[in-house]
Chain A
Amino acid sequence: MNVEQDAAAVGCVLAGDVEAFARIVRRWQEPLVTLAYRFCSDRDQAEEMAQVAFVTAFRSLEQWRSEGAFGSWLYAVAANVYRSEMRRRRLFTLPLDAAHEAIEPRSAASCNADVDRQELVRGTVSTLPARYRDVLVLFYFHEMDVRETALSLGVAEGTVKARLHRGRALLRRRLGPVLTAPTSREDLE
């Protein structure tokens, strides 16, 4: 499905054909669930959040201006939903030990060779303050496109760059030796 087909499907939904929304869901379900997963790192929760994002998009479909890319608009809606959901869920479900972990960065010493570095990096991203975490998640999701990240967050590109810089600095400080340490046998050899 391309941009025109997106617009056609939206037109059908706005004309009253609810079932046409399935075409939109089919096309965008994987990126939206993936983006949600990058926020929450939990598969089931990611699907729940993506469902909320789709329903929110359905309810506000009239607000999409057809001159803009539908995908950008949908990502902006989804990012907004995910950020609110993360705030809400963090408020109600964060256990005490996790909260402690979020405040205290993991030490490099606690990372043994079995720890997956990617998991650790992702986990550390989720412990960053929301404004840095959101920018980092969206920036890497959009394959390091600052403009798309700014569109999804509804902020200026300069703001994205500044938060990105601070977020990465914070991440590097927290991960420190983990990033430079060799992890695989090839690295060691």
Chain B
Amino acid sequence: MTDDLDRILVSEDSITPSGGFLASVMEAVRECRRYEIPIPFPWKRFTTGLVGGLSCTVLSMILLAPELSPLRSPGVRTWFPVPQWLCAPEFVWTVLVLAGSLLAVRFAVALTSD
């Protein structure tokens, strides 16, 4: 009886794939590779954002809480001599206004260009 079972199960025919099988598999493989190509990390944007964010933080601290400003801390001042005028609120406001103007001009140019 076992021999009969073995004979039946071993004797199964092999299946020939349809004509388009190879092409279909290769298409799926190419698709898979396309999605696997890693997207490069946007270092340029990341660095710009980081510098911008840090600048905004420092400027905000100078404007809102000058005594907490890192540029006024003795540790920073001994390591990196910061001129007094750099910490003055007037200077910060001037920088902010100039940066705002620059952004407004770039925005306007971006809107009008193709």
- A-B interaction: yes
A interface residues, Cβ below 8 angstroms from B: 18-19, 21-22, 25-26, 29-31, 33-34, 37-38, 43, 46-47, 50-51, 54-55, 58-59, 117-118, 121-122, 125, 136, 140, 143-144, 168, 171-172, 175, 179-180
Tell me which of A37, A47, A55, A121 contacts B18 (CB under 8 A). A47
Query: Main SS of chain A's interface residues?
Result: helix
Whether A30 touches B33, Cβ cut-off 8 Å, given contacts A51-B24, A143-B10, is no
Tell me which of B1, B2, B11, B32 contacts A55 (CB under 8 A). B32
| Chain B 2-27 near chain A by CB (<8 Å), digits 1 or 0 | 10111011111011111001101110
Chain A residues with CB under 8 A of B110: none
Chain B residues with CB under 8 A of A180: 1, 4
Contact A136 B9 (CB under 8 A): yes
How many residues of chain B have a CB within 8 Å of chain A?
A: 26
Contact B1 A22 (CB under 8 A): no
Query: Main SS of chain B's interface residues?
Result: helix
CA of A18 to CA of B105, assembled, Å: 48
Chain A residue nearest to B20 (CB atoms) is A47
Whether A22 touches B22, Cβ cut-off 8 Å, given contacts A55-B29, A59-B32, A180-B1, is yes
Tell me which of A26, A144, A175 contacts B6 (CB under 8 A). A144
Contact B5 A26 (CB under 8 A): no
Contact B33 A34 (CB under 8 A): no
Chain B residue nearest to A53 (CB atoms) is B25
Contact A38 B21 (CB under 8 A): no
B95 interface residue, CB < 8 Å from A? no
CA of A144 to CA of B9, assembled, Å: 10
Tell me which of B5, B21, B36 contacts A29 (CB under 8 A). B21
Chain A residue nearest to B27 (CB atoms) is A51
Chain B residue nearest to A46 (CB atoms) is B15
Chain B residues with CB under 8 A of A54: 25, 28-29
Chain B residues with CB under 8 A of A179: 1, 4-5
B30 interface residue, CB < 8 Å from A? yes
Contact A172 B2 (CB under 8 A): yes
